[in-house]
Amino acid sequence: MGLRYVESVERGIAAVIDNPTTWNFTNPQVRQNLVRIFPYAILYTVDPDIILILAVMHCGRKPGYW
């Protein structure tokens, strides 16, 4: 199960790197890509020169805890 989780998160991060503007904003600066299979989201920002991953957040916990 742990390996499947890691692979899912890695695929989600790779998708963000390939197409960073595809996913919706959770607030004016932070975007969110939902991880497949597991209830997690990758939260990140996009600047001209960098994609910064802020958190891999569990979607069942309090919003904003990250």
Spatial distance between the Cα atoms of 9 and 43, rounded to a whole number of angstroms? 11
Predicted local confidence at residue 64, as pLDDT = 64
Inform me whether the pLDDT recorded for 65 exceeds 70: no
pLDDT in tens, 4-56: 999 999 999 999 999 999 999 988 999 999 999 999 999 999 998 999 999 99
Query: What pLDDT is recorded for position 66?
Result: 63
Residues paired with residue 32 on neighbouring β-strands, in sequence order: 43
Q: Sign of the CA dihedral 8, 41, 32, 17?
A: negative
Taking the complete model, does pTM exceed 0.85, yes or no? yes
